[in-house]
Homo-oligomer: A and B are copies of this chain.
Amino acid sequence: MWSRPAKAPRQTLTLDRIVAEAVALLDEEGVGRLTMRRLAERLDTGSTTLYWHVKTKDDVLDLALDAVFHEVPLPGREAGWRAAARDLMSGWRAALLRHPWSATMLDRPLMGPNALERTEFLYETLAGAGFPAPKTAAYSLANYVMGSVIMQVTWQQRDPGGTGAFLRERADLYPSLAEHGLDFPGGRTGWDTTFTEGLAFLLDGMEQAEQAHRTGPG
């Protein structure tokens, strides 16, 4: 009819749009509020429509998580394996922290193309450096990063801030904690330097083992 409401020009929904909007929604409201209905609403469609592009909600989460890994830059290898590993892990951490919800989702297989590409890079780097067991080295580094991010996100956003007081009240039970511990944000860069120092421990140990392996059986 003459005054037909110009029916929206049917810009077909794509998987990319769904994933991008899911990431945005997660960034803004957190993992607890990601709902198929809410996600659909933001995309101006019905919730059931999403199921044409995606099998389950878990698919959306898997895709969103892998999208985060896409933000992790692959460092150069000129500066040696240690610098490459350090930079990759720092970038990995930074990307996860930029999307705190992702920390909660690290308990699923990281099998997306972006995650695999980064893991492959890490293995290549370590194997190329002559590590006898790149598996162990990569495993240690990845574990450390995952644990760090989870811990930081946990304390930063799930802690009502009362932890310090909570522990100080119980200083008789937990003297060491009350003295040295758990007031993490502390300095502005507290988290970052603590992460870097811990990573240095790990890299030092790895370097030591690598040198021993190079000079030992040679």
**Given A120-B177, A127-B176, A176-B127, A142–B151 Cβ distance below 8 Å?**
yes
A56 interface contact, C-beta 8 A: no
A139 interface contact, C-beta 8 A: yes
CB <8 Å contact, B104 and A136: no
Number of copies of this chain in the oligomer?
2
CB <8 Å contact, B194 and A135: yes
CB <8 Å contact, A136 and B198: yes
Query: Which residue on chain B has the smallest CB distance to residue A136?
Result: B197
Query: Which residue on chain B has the smallest CB distance to residue A174?
Result: B120
Q: Using an 8 Å CB-CB cutoff, how does the interface string of A89-103 with B read, 1 for contact, 0 for none?
A: 000000000000001
A158 interface contact, C-beta 8 A: yes
For residues 165 through 218 of chain A, which have their beta carbon under 8 Å from a beta carbon of chain B?
Answer: 166, 173-177, 179-182, 184, 194, 197-198, 200-206, 208-209
Q: Using an 8 Å CB-CB cutoff, how does the interface string of A66-104 with B read, 1 for contact, 0 for none?
A: 000000000000000000000000000000000000011
CB <8 Å contact, B104 and A107: yes
The distance from the CB of A88 to the nearest CB of chain B, in whole angstroms, is 14
In the assembled complex, the Cα of A111 lies from the Cα of B109 at a distance in Å of 28
Q: Using an 8 Å CB-CB cutoff, how does the interface string of A16-59 with B read, 1 for contact, 0 for none?
A: 00000000000000000000000000000000000000000000
CB <8 Å contact, B201 and A209: yes
> What B residues does A111 contact at CB under 8 A?
163, 166
> What B residues does A205 contact at CB under 8 A?
200-206, 208
Which of A123, A124, A138, A143 has the largest count of B CB atoms less than 10 A from its CB?
A143
In the assembled complex, the Cα of A71 lies from the Cα of B163 at a distance in Å of 24
Query: Which residue on chain B has the smallest CB distance to residue A146?
Result: B147
Query: Which residue on chain B has the smallest CB distance to residue A120?
Result: B174
A116 interface contact, C-beta 8 A: yes
The distance from the CB of A105 to the nearest CB of chain B, in whole angstroms, is 9
- Given A127-B179, A143-B151, A144-B147, 9 other A-B residues pairs in contact with their CB atoms under 8 A: A108-B154, A109-B159, A116-B174, A116-B177, A123-B181, A140-B144, A143-B150, A202-B202, A204-B205
User: Can you sample 5 A-B contacts with CB below 8 Å?
Assistant: A107-B158, A142-B147, A146-B151, A147-B147, A204-B208
